[in-house]
A and B are shown apart, each in its own frame.
Chain A
Amino acid sequence: EPEVTQTPSHQVTQMGQEVILRCVPISNHLYFYWYRQILGQKVEFLVSFYNNEISEKSEIFDDQFSVERPDGSNFTLKIRSTKLEDSAMYFCASSEGPNGGEQFFGPGTRLTVL
């Protein structure tokens, strides 16, 4: 059964460093998402992406964040200069269609900023 994959499973970085989190969405899906979950808190939407551009972003998704689909399979989230408060679980998701369609989630990348 097709699934969303994410790498790495755990990333440790120093404050101020750049990180790139990678995701491979399900191949025939057209909509891609990033969510994050700070330990003990709710899952929060970061950004949605369709047709090679951002379709929606939250107030969390500031200039330090960017997303890219560099090729036909990968979907990446870049944090330019990490802060301590960026420590969280980051989930990638994809769906065939927009609103109301099932979003398939990856297993997450745990980002720890020291």
Chain B
Amino acid sequence: AQTVTQSQPEMSVQEAETVTLSCTYDTSESNYYLFWYKQPPSRQMILVIRQEAYKQQNATENRFSVNFQKAAKSFSLKISDSQLGDTAMYFCAFDFIQGAQKLVFGQGTRLTINP
């Protein structure tokens, strides 16, 4: 079975700093998708960034980028120039490339950006 682990329950950084959130996963699949979702306080989860496992290039979306290490089964999220609006729960998630239609989530990391 697929598992996703986020080992940092909480993190806190100052505004404008760079922060990296860790995620590891376990799967026997060779191709899959990985996601980072953000859940601001009392609001919907929204997609931050997506990585396709068969692509070696790390995904980037503005200030958000990932470090995808397929062999190590690691998928970390880097937030550059952090902003107060980045304060949220961040969830790492695994999705199958075909077959089972479901996301497998990690436990989440609560990120606080301090002014």
Contacts and interface: CB of A to CB of B under 8 A. Distances in A.
A65 interface: no
A100 B97 contact: yes
B44 A106 contact: yes
Contacts of B106: 42
A77 to B, nearest CB: 15
Interface of A: 3-4, 31, 33, 35, 41-45, 48, 50, 55-56, 58, 91, 98-100, 102-108
Nearest to B52: A100
A45 B44 contact: no
B105 A41 contact: no
A105 B50 CA distance: 15
A104 B47 CA distance: 8
A35 B108 CA distance: 15
Contacts of A44: 105
Given A35-B105, A58-B102, 12 more contacts: A31-B101, A33-B101, A43-B103, A44-B105, A56-B101, A99-B96, A99-B97, A99-B101, A100-B50, A100-B95, A102-B47, A105-B37
A43 B91 CA distance: 9
A48 B102 contact: yes
Interface string B73-101: 00000000000000000010001111111
B67 interface: no
22 contacts: A33-B103, A35-B103, A35-B105, A42-B106, A42-B107, A43-B103, A43-B108, A45-B103, A56-B101, A56-B102, A58-B102, A99-B33, A99-B96, A99-B97, A99-B99, A99-B101, A100-B50, A100-B52, A102-B50, A105-B37, A106-B44, A107-B42
